[in-house]
Chain A
Amino acid sequence: GEDVEQSLFLSVREGDSSVINCTYTDSSSTYLYWYKQEPGAGLQLLTYIFSNMDMKQDQRLTVLLNKKDKHLSLRIADTQTGDSAIYFCADLRRANNLFFGTGTRLTVIP
C-alpha cells in the first residue's frame, strides 16, 4: 500500500516534550516532511529530512528517521500552548508530489 499513518491524538503538559510518530510505506520517498496546521489555516512547513539522513535538529525540533523500519518521528522540546495544532507528516514520491498522513492533533495542557 501507499499509506502514511499517524496516531490521531496526543496530549502533553506545557514544558514537556512531545513526540509525534509516523510510518510510511513507499521506499522511493526522497524527502520526508513535517507540516503544522492551525485551525482554519493552511500548512506551515516545520522541517524536512532527506531520506539518506537519520536525524535533523532545528531549535526545539528533532526529526528522527529510521529508513529500515520506514518510521519518522518529530520531537518538540519544551512544548508550549502555541504548539497546539494538527501535525502532518508527508513523503515526497517519485512523481514529485506529497503524500500526507491523516494528521496528529496535539493538545498542550497548561
Chain B
Amino acid sequence: DAGVTQSPTHLIKTRGQQVTLRCSPKSGHDTVSWYQQALGQGPQFIFQYYEEEERQRGNFPDRFSGHQFPNYSSELNVNALLLGDSALYLCASSPPDGGGDEQFFGPGTRLTVL
C-alpha cells in the first residue's frame, strides 16, 4: 500500500497564474481533505471531499476549488495565485467509517508563488 500520494512534489508559479495539485488516497479510504500549511504554522483546513462532493469547507476564498473523481482521487485548484498562497499543501485521507480514528497525510506539494 503506497499510502497517500501527492503530485507534484514542488511547484513554482507566478502571481495571477492557476495551479492544480493532485492527491491519491490510501487504499480503502474514500474521504479526502486538503490543508494549507504556511511556513512556521500549523496546517489549516481548506475543504473535504466525499462521494465526489465538497462536504465541508474552511475559511478559504472561492479561488480555492476542488474535485473528487470516482476512484476517490482528488484535485485542488487555485486560481489567480497570490504571493500569500505560497505554502505546503497537504492532502489527508480517511476511511469510510467516518474517519475519526485514522487521518493519514501525504508528503505534500510545496507551492512557491513569485
Contact = CB atoms under 8 A, between A and B. Distances in A.
Interface of A: 4, 30-31, 33, 35, 41-45, 48, 50, 88, 90, 92, 95-103
A61 to B, nearest CB: 16
Given A41-B107, A43-B105, A31 B90 contact: no
Interface string B46-84: 001000000110100000000000000000000000000
20 contacts: A41-B107, A42-B88, A42-B106, A42-B108, A43-B90, A43-B105, A44-B105, A45-B102, A45-B103, A45-B104, A45-B105, A48-B101, A48-B102, A96-B31, A96-B100, A97-B48, A97-B58, A98-B45, A98-B103, A100-B42
Nearest to B45: A97
Contacts, number: 63
Interface in B20-53: 31, 33, 35, 41-45, 48
Nearest to A97: B45
Interface residues of B, number: 27
> Binding site of A, secondary structure by majority: helix, strand, loop or mixed?
strand
B43 A98 contact: yes
B99 interface: yes
Contacts of A42: 88, 90, 105-108
Nearest to A33: B103
Contacts of B90: 42-43
B74 to A, nearest CB: 14
Nearest to B107: A42
Nearest to A43: B105
Contacts of B45: 97-99
